[in-house]
Structure 1
Amino acid sequence: MPKITETAIEVDPKLPVIRMTRDFAAAPEQLLRAHTDPELFARWVGPEGMDTRIDHWDARTGGSWRYVSARDGEEYWFRGTFHEVRPDRIVQTFTYEGEPDGVALETLWFEDLGDGRTRLRAQSLVDSFEDRDMWLRSGMETGVDEGYAKLERLLADGTV
C-alpha cells in the first residue's frame, strides 16, 4: 500500500462527493482525539494565519459543534452535528454559515496501517455538483493541506 504524505483530493464523476486521503505518523486514537478534542481541533484546523475559536463542542454521538475561524477582521462560522463518534470513524454534518442551505454529510475513517501510521479517509457528500465545485473553488484544498500540516507538527512534538 503506497504512503500518502500530502492530502489526495478526488471528486466522484457520478455523485456530488469529495474524497480526501492522507497518511499520518500517528495511531488512530491520536487522530480521533485531534478531531474530537476542541482545544486540539482549534489549534490545527484550517489554513495558516487563521485563528479558530470554539463556540461549543459536544463530540459524542448526537452532539453538536460550532466554531469560528478569523483573519484580518473577517469571521467564518461553521456548525454541525456529530451523528456518530466511535474509535474508527466519525459521521457528522458540516455547514458554512455563510451558505446556510449547504449541508454536507461527512464521514471520516481512521485506518490503522500498523507501524504507528494511520490513513485518514474523509468523504463529503454535498447537495449538488454545483455545491461540490464551489467548495473546490473556495480554497478548500489549501485549508485542508495547511491544516493537516499543522496537525502533523502537533503529532510530531507530542502534543497529540
Structure 2
Amino acid sequence: MPRTDTGSRVIAASPDRVYAALVDADALKAWLPPDGMTGRFDRFDARPGGSYRLVLTYADASSSPGKATPDSDVVEARFVDIVPGVRVVQAVEFVSDDPSYAGTMTMTWEVTAVDTGTRVEIRADDVPDGISAEDHAAGLASSLSNLAAYLTRGAEDS
C-alpha cells in the first residue's frame, strides 16, 4: 500500500542557507545520511532533470542489513522540481533485488521562513513497503537533526 511519511523541524538558519544545503553535494554528504551511516555520491547534478546516485553505508549492518548489499543502500534519484529558496522535489528509487523496496518514492523538501529561523518540511510519498514507518520516521528525524547541527556548525565557522 502506498504510504506517506513526513517530518519537520525549525532550524536556526536563514531559508537561503537551508536551501543551499539541500542542493550541494558536499553539504548533503555531511548531513543527509541518518545516524549510523555514511554517504558518498557516485554522481550529482542538482538541476531539474538532473540526477544523483548516493551510496549509504552502515557502520554496523548486523541489526539492519542494507537493501543493495549486506552493508549498504544505493539510492538512484532524479530532481523533478527545484524552486530556489523554496522547494526541492526528487523521485527516489532504491537499488535492491527485494521487491518490497521497488517503486519510486517522491521526496519533497520545503523551506519556509519563521520567526526563529526556517521550518524544513519533508514529505515522502509512495514509500516502499519494505521501509518500516518507524524506521523511516527515525531516519527523517535523524537527517533533520544532522541538518540543524551542520548549519549550526557552519554558522560558528563563519
TM-score by structure 2 length?
0.78
> What is aligned with 1:29?
16
| 3-state SS of 1:149 partner | helix
| 3-state SS of 1:90 partner | strand
> What is aligned with 1:108?
109
Q: 1:119 corresponds to which letter in structure 2?
A: R
Q: Percent identity?
A: 24
- Equivalents in 1 of 2:4, 2:72: separation in Å? 26
- Equivalents in 1 of 2:148, 2:51: separation in Å? 25
> What is aligned with 1:7?
none
> What is aligned with 2:122?
122
User: RMSD over aligned Cα, in angstroms?
Assistant: 2.3
Aligned match for 2:39, one of 52, 59, 64: 52
Contact persistence 1:89–1:109 (CA under 8 A): yes
- Equivalents in 1 of 2:21, 2:78: separation in Å? 17
- Note the C-alpha offset of 1:158: 1.6
Aligned match for 1:39, one of 16, 26, 35: 26
> What is aligned with 1:10?
none
| 3-state SS of 1:156 partner | helix
Any stretches of 5+ residues in structure 2 without a counterpart? 61-69
Aligned match for 1:91, one of 82, 89, 94: 89
Q: 2:26 corresponds to which letter in structure 1?
A: E
- Equivalents in 2 of 1:102, 1:155: separation in Å? 32
- Equivalents in 2 of 1:44, 1:136: separation in Å? 22
> What is aligned with 1:75?
72
Q: 2:120 corresponds to which letter in structure 1?
A: L
Aligned pair count reads: 141
- Listed one character per residue, the Cα deviations across residues 96-124 of structure 1 (whole Å, up to 9, x for unaligned) are 11256321122221111145x11112222
Contact persistence 1:46–1:144 (CA under 8 A): no
Relative contact order higher in (CA < 8 Å, ≥ 6 apart): 2
- Note the C-alpha offset of 1:138: 6.5
Any stretches of 5+ residues in structure 1 without a counterpart? 1-14
